[in-house]
Amino acid sequence: MSTVHYLSTLSFPDAWLDRLRERHPRLEVTQITADSAADVPAEVWARTQVLHTGGVFPGAGQAPRLEWIQLDTSGADHLKDTPVWQLPVPITSIGGISPVPMAEYVLMMVLGLAHRLPRAMAVQRSAVWPSLGERWDTLMPRTLRGATLGVIGYGRIGQEIGRLARAHHMDVLGLKRQRTARAGAYFGASARDEAEAEIYTPDRLHDFLARCDFLVVTCPLTEETRGMVDAAALAALKPGAMVVNVARGGIVDEDALLRALRSGHVAGAALDVFDEEPLSPDSPWWTEPGVLLTPHVAGFAPDYAEQVLRLVGENVGRHLAGADLLNLVDRGRGY
């Protein structure tokens, strides 16, 4: 059997690479920690058949033997302006690695917003013990029991968020492009019953938003979702709703959200992603009252390397056997 040349532009431990080699002896594994295509020698690009990368892609004609790209990201929006997006090779994502930690992050933020954590942290920083009246007026929690949580992007992550929300006796709504499941096989897919959430489609976005006490955004960034949560969408939210964004900057209109927060129509927000990252030191989001902010960490998975090995190992086996790959990116959908 012929050798298949696999290139990783990421930084995995030698033991991780050895286990991949042991599982698939036909692989010739090369790892070059790279920030750009220029960091990879031309002769390596020339022989690469399988590329495992986050954001380093060959230029036009640099990788003539390329057969498949395994992304180390769950989204594929960053590929659209690269030559590889037009190549007739499959692209697969890392989706399914982070649903559990991401869902736990979302519930942490929902609970934090409901229990006025931004205000409580401001009290701590002030080192001034507020009066009973001030505590009653500013630190009274919002009950989750019976509240409605809506998730834009009700896939693997959204379903896990829904499961945790229902444990708090919340009503769960899901908004997704189609009511039926996408075709194809997916890493970490479960048989969880979507009927436990009431499903909306994008043509009913404002009806969906009008019912939300908490809005969670988890959908991919595509041409259809860019700017989806704009000023009109935020105005359609139930007054006093709270917003959590763990998807991508560009889906939520940040200027409109800031205005909605300052008007009081949106009562709080938890943001892990922004239009421009890193967030500039002079951004108003660092100090905006009622906001919980983190630096794009919601998808961090404690057992990331082990899960990636499972996914990549499975996909390499499928590729060698000529079988369908897990997490195949649909270029028409953009994810």
Distance of CA 24 to the CA centre of its chain: 30
DSSP 244: E
Which candidate in 296, 318, 331, 333 is catalytic?
A: 296
Closest to 147 (Cα-Cα) out of 115, 118, 117: 115
Q: Which residue has the tokens 């039926």?
A: 180
CA 298 vs CA 10, 61, 101: distances in Å: 20, 36, 7
**Residues in the chain, total:** 335
Amino acid at 30: T
- Residue 184 backbone dihedrals phi, psi, to 5 degrees: 110, 165
Is residue 265 within 8 Å of residue 234, measured between CB atoms?
A: yes
Which candidate in 5, 248, 254, 319 is catalytic?
A: 248
DSSP 182: P
Tokens of 259: 């205005």
Tokens of 269: 């927000």
Which residues on adjacent β-strands are paired with residue 152? Answer: 175, 217
Give every CB contact of residue 44 below 8 A, 6+ residues apart in sequence: 7, 30, 32
Task: Return d(Cα 266, Cα 91) in angstroms, integer.
Answer: 38
296 tagged catalytic = yes
262 tagged catalytic = no
Tokens of 83: 């030559």
248 tagged catalytic = yes
Q: Please identify every residue annotated as catalytic.
A: 248, 277, 296
